Structure formats: structure tokens, C-alpha cells
Amino acid sequence: MQQKIVLVTGKGGVGKSSVAAGLALKEARKGRRVLLAELGERSYFSELLPSGPMEISYQAKAIESGLELVKWDGESCLKEYLFHYIPIRRVVDLFFENPVMKALVQAAPALKELAILGKATSGKRNVGPAFDYDVVVVDSYATGHFQALVRAPQGMAEAIGFGPMGEQSRSIERWICDPEFCQIVIVALPEELPVVEALELSESVQADLGQKVEFVLNKVWPKTWRAEDIQALGRLQSLEWPQGLSDFREVLAQSLGQQCQYLDQLSTRGRVHSLPWLLEPSSWGLLKSLSQQLEDL
Ligand SMILES: Nc1ncnc2c1ncn2[C@@H]1O[C@H](COP(=O)(O)OP(=O)(O)OP(=O)(O)O)[C@@H](O)[C@H]1O
Ligand SMILES: [Mg+2]
């Protein structure tokens, strides 16, 4: 099987981590070797693993058969990149301990983002340690920071077009623009702001990477509930509706109508997968159930 990476993004709180984990669990169930990579400082999954709390760091840890979990931060990815060229740990550590270099790494736009995408594509580019997963699912940044992430290779290639940095930036860019290798999934809720943000992001991804995205509309009401049916209930004279319930019926009918509109709007720009709003008391149980619903993604 060809290696592939899936970058999961969307507005804050829409279910990016849940969808990323659901996708990773689905692939692992099929017998594939899967890496679920979290970006950022804090791990979302470390507290909800079925085996109890576990520290998630830069070294991948096996959490289920076929599934490993890792947390990538820009600095660790950059350290590994430098170590590839200067294979003396002390020299690399000294570089990062140097206050000028430290400030440069913090301030240089796109350097950490480039290092993260460098890590994600390292298997394809044969750079650094072995990276032989079948599927890498990245629980990525929310919309704005995600745009900065995927623009980093092109930006860096334009800024430093020469030497290994320019060469690697161009090669990372080529891989993330390849739809056979890199898939971009935007998660939204059936609400106005997340949908508008998802549509805008899909346009910018198309412009920056030439890639078509896939959408996940998360927490949708069951498809068998139709707005017309709910509204028709209100016209049944024989039913005496208490005020609270009749308000709820109106709100529900409206939400169902809007949900259909959002599905239509998103489907003009890419394939849309709906995920139901699941009532699952256990967090890991929820992720397992979501993975069953993501079969076609
Ligand atoms: N389909 C679903 N049904 C029920 N609950 C869900 C569903 N999807 C996500 N959730 C719950 O919604 C909350 C937010 O989800 P999640 O943490 O995955 O969002 P996120 O986009 O990663 O958030 P953040 O931007 O903070 O990283 C979590 O409590 C999660 O368990
Ligand atoms: Mg998250």
C-alpha cells in the first residue's frame, strides 16, 4: 500500500480531534499501520485512552493494535531535521540553547510549520529516521493556523530558494499538493459560522495547493428526521402541545432545514460525509463509534 497522510482541520471545537481519531481507528481496524499525530503543546488524547492517562510526546507510542500516537511540536521536528544534517546531538542541542538561535526559531515565520510538514512527509522523501506507516492522520491546527501550516513550504521556498532548505521546501510542497498522497479533511458543525469558515478554507486550500478537500459535517441530526414532518406535527389539531415543547418543535424543524442547506452548500465544493451526534458516555467509546461511521472517507 502507498503511504498517505490525512490533514484534519476546521474551526475550533467542531470535532477535529474526534474525526482524526475516528479515521485513525478505522484504518487500524483494516490492518494498516497507522500514526495519529497531534500538533501543538497539549495532548487531547493522553487523558482519554482506555488504558488510563499516558504522556504523549515526540516518541510515538502504541495505543492499540496497529495504532500509534505521537505529539509533534515545531521545535522537536526542527531538532530532528538539524540532527539529520549534523548528526552530533550535543551540537544540535547547543544550537537550540543559544539565545540568538532560540529567538530566531521563535520569530522566523513558517520555520516550525515547515519542520512539522517535513516530518509528515519524511517517509516519502526518505529523510531522517524510518517512517514507514501506511497512514498518518494529523489532528491539525484550526483554520487560520492551518492556512499558515500549508503555506509554509511555498513561502520558505520563495524566501530561501537555494541550498538544502530551498530544495526540501519545494519537495515538501510537491508532496502536500499531491492528492494521491495528501488528503485534506475539513470538519464543520451544521451551524453558520463553522460552515462559512469551512467553505472559505476550502477555497484557500484550492488556491494554495490546487487540492480539493473533503468535508465532514459533524453532530448532525438523524437523516430520518425531516423538517417537513416535524412541522406537520404542529398542524395536528388533536395534539395539545405544551408551550415549551412546541417551541422545541419549531427550533428543531428550523435546525433540520438549515442542516440540509449546509449539506448542499458544502457539497458544491467537495464530498461531504455526515457524522451523527452520538450519545456515548465514554470518550474512547465515542471515538470507536465515530470510526464505524467513517467507513467511506
Ligand atoms: N459526533 C459527535 N457526537 C457527540 N459528541 C461529539 C461528536 N464529535 C465530537 N464530539 C464531542 O465534542 C467535543 C469537541 O470535540 P473535539 O475535541 O474533537 O473538537 P476539536 O475541534 O478537536 O476541538 P479543539 O479546537 O479544541 O481542538 C468533545 O467533547 C467530543 O467528545
Ligand atoms: Mg482538538
222 lines ligand 1 (CB under 6 A): no
Return the closest-CA partner of residue 9 out of 277, 171, 263, 214.
214
Report the b/e string of 259-282 with b at 16+ CB within 10 A. beebbebbeebbebbbbeeeeeee
pLDDT in the model for residue 231 = 76
- In ligand 1, which atom is closest to the CA atom of 20? 18
- Is 15 within 8 Å of 276 (Cβ atoms)? no
12 lines ligand 1 (CB under 6 A): yes
Q: How far is the C-alpha of 218 from the C-alpha of 226, rounded, in Å?
A: 18
CA atoms within 13 A on the CB side of 276: 12
Grid cell at residue 227: 423538517
Which-ligand-closest: CA of 48?
Answer: 1
- In ligand 1, which atom is closest to the CA atom of 139? 22
Amino acid in the structure at residue 283: S
Taking only the tens place, the pLDDT of each residue in 166-183 is: 899 999 999 999 999 999
286 lines ligand 1 (CB under 6 A): yes
pLDDT in the model for residue 90 = 82
Please state the CATH superfamily assignment of the domain spanning residues 4-224+267-293 in this structure: P-loop containing nucleotide triphosphate hydrolases (3.40.50.300)
Max Cα separation, the chain? 82
- Is 213 within 8 Å of 270 (Cβ atoms)? yes
pLDDT in the model for residue 238 = 61
pLDDT in the model for residue 239 = 65
Which-ligand-closest: CA of 13?
Answer: 1
pLDDT in the model for residue 72 = 97
pLDDT in the model for residue 237 = 61
Q: For the chain, which residues make up each domain, given as ranges?
A: 4-224+267-293
Nearest CA to ligand 1 atom 23: 13
Residues of the chain with pLDDT under 50: none
